[in-house]
Amino acid sequence: MRWRILSRLSLSQRLSIVFAALLLACCGASLWLQVRANVQHEQEVTQRLSLGLAAHIADNSALMAPSGLNDAAVKDLFDKLMAVNPSVEVYLLSMDGRIQAQAAPAGHLKRDRVDITPIRALLAGGRLPVLGDDPRSADGTRKVFSAAPLRIDGRDAGYVYVVLIGEDRDTVAAGLQAGRMWRYLLWSMSLVTGLGLLAGLIAFRLITRPLRRLTSAVQQFETGGLIALDSAVPALNEASSGGGEIATLGQVFTRMTQRIAEQWRELTLQDQQRRELFANISHDLRTPLTSLHGYLETLLLKADTLSADDRRRYLEIALGQSSKVGRLAQELFELARLEYGVVKPEMESFALPDLVQDVFQKFELAAEARGQRLVPDIAPGLPVVTADLGMIERVLTNLLDNAIRHSPEGGEIVVQLRAEGRGVRVEISDTGPGIPGELRNKLFMRPVFSTAGGRAGGLGLVIVKRILQLHDSEIELIQRERKGAVFSFSLG
């Protein structure tokens, strides 16, 4: 039950409770040590001041007679001492510590023997205070005393044993000082505990301030999600300032939230691009499929009335539309394999100029049919590159195909190769209408279409970007005067 209650408290509250408990324990221990030190100091002062009292009594020769104790003299001495100083108790002991004479009221004497080891220690000059047995205590209480050897005719006959804090003094002191002492203890403990708690709470509040700010920022991030991230960043930065574990935790959480936000925005952007990709693919498919369906339907309905030339022309148009659909389906399949990591590049070293010449041969007939020129601008002494030969051939094929299809008749397509560090920079340019400004930012992310009759981009450029990313390269669209579209990338 207690642990459940504690678990509901905040860290500052739990720290305050633990600190208060430790502070009370320390105050109690400190006061106990202080009281003990005061008692020992009082005992030492009392014993040091009365150290010669027993010797002074022992010098009274009237106490001893040749036959033993002088009872009359002893009683007279005890009466005088009790009248002068009732706080002391005098005992005459034998050599083995047995009590021979005393002045205790009837029933007050609890012991008939005193341990003589402390007496010998005191007489030998032991460190004060030296505590000895109290004959009037049944629980073994020890008190400061004064002692001296008692001699008869030059030989030891026993000891004078004086308890310096007697029974009467204990009774009077307990009555007078008990209430005062406890009041002093309680007031002093309350004062020290209160001041300590106040200082501790202030210190805990200052120490845990960054943690509270971090907690507030985390809760704000939890309730508001990524929308609340921007407003939570100042609190996170403030909580992360300075040093220590809390600052490190704040910095780690800040980096984590920023990374989550970036990944979420990237996922959102990718989802949007995927939706637009589906929409554009549907647009690309709808046009040729509609045309294909229309011409096939016309052939079916008017098969008996069409001439051979018309039937052939309709079939050629339908075949062309079917080829567009097939090419788009192939590109979509290829893009899906690249997106999901099915295709991995198989690296090999080869000469890029040779690959460019091979690709040129694939497009020679298409270029000649449109009266276009394919121009290789290859610098001498180019280094070999390390890449997937088939993928790079696909990149060049897509870029040249776009350039030929979007360049006017009599246009020029230039493939330029230049050394760049240890690699080669490839630049493909044409004399077509170029890419409209509103399409440039989205050209390599999804298929785009021009609304002004200008140039557009399809899946081919998206495939090019994915392939080059697998080669740690990026495709760039360069703005250049008197040129249509200029695409550039590098291979190492």
Domain ranges across the chain: 10-207, 278-339, 348-491
- Domain 10-207: give its CATH architecture: 2-Layer Sandwich (3.30)
In the predicted structure, residue 415 carries a pLDDT above the cut 90 = yes
The identity of residue 351, as a single letter, is A
In the predicted structure, residue 172 carries a pLDDT above the cut 80 = no
Tokens, residue 107: 């029933």
E strands within 71-110?
A: 89-93, 99-102
Beta partners for residue 386, in sequence order: 349
Q: Do the beta carbons of residue 158 and residue 92 sit within 8 Å?
A: yes
DSSP letter at 431 equals: S
Which of residues 481 and 359 earns the better pLDDT score? 359
Q: Do the beta carbons of residue 391 and residue 453 sit within 8 Å?
A: no
Share of the chain above pLDDT 70, in %: 77
DSSP letter at 70 equals: -
Beta partners for residue 377, in sequence order: 416
E strands within 153-280?
A: 155-163
Q: Do the beta carbons of residue 110 and residue 138 sit within 8 Å?
A: yes
pTM above 0.75, yes or no: no
Instruction: Please provide the CATH number assigned to the domain covering 278-339.
Output: 1.10.287.130
Residue given tokens 């350039």 in the structure block: 403
Peptide bond into 129 cis (omega under 30): yes
Which of residues 411 and 252 earns the better pLDDT score? 411
Which CATH topology does 348-491 take? Answer: Heat Shock Protein 90 (3.30.565)
Structure confidence at residue 323 (pLDDT):
83
Average pLDDT, the chain: 79
Structure confidence at residue 233 (pLDDT):
60
Which of residues 313 and 181 earns the better pLDDT score? 313
* pLDDT, tens only, 209-236: 777 777 777 776 667 666 666 555 665 6
What is the pLDDT averaged over residues 8-27? 73
In the predicted structure, residue 454 carries a pLDDT above the cut 50 = no
The pLDDT confidence band at residue 455, using thresholds 50, 70 and 90, is: very low
Cα torsion through 351, 353, 356, 360, rounded to 10: -130
- Return the closest-CA partner of residue 185 out of 381, 292, 28: 28
Neighbours of 41 (CB within 10 A): 11
In the predicted structure, residue 379 carries a pLDDT above the cut 80 = yes
Structure confidence at residue 254 (pLDDT):
74
DSSP letter at 388 equals: -
Neighbours of 438 (CB within 10 A): 12
Cα angle, residue 474 at apex, residues 472 and 478 outer, rounded to 5°: 160
Q: Do the beta carbons of residue 38 and residue 216 sit within 8 Å?
A: no
Structure confidence at residue 392 (pLDDT):
95
For β-strands 68-69 and 486-491, DSSP reports them as unpaired
**Are domains 278-339 and 348-491 of this chain identical in fold?**
no
What is the pLDDT averaged over residues 482-488? 87
Structure confidence at residue 226 (pLDDT):
62
Q: How far apart are CA 113 and CA 121, in angstroms?
A: 17
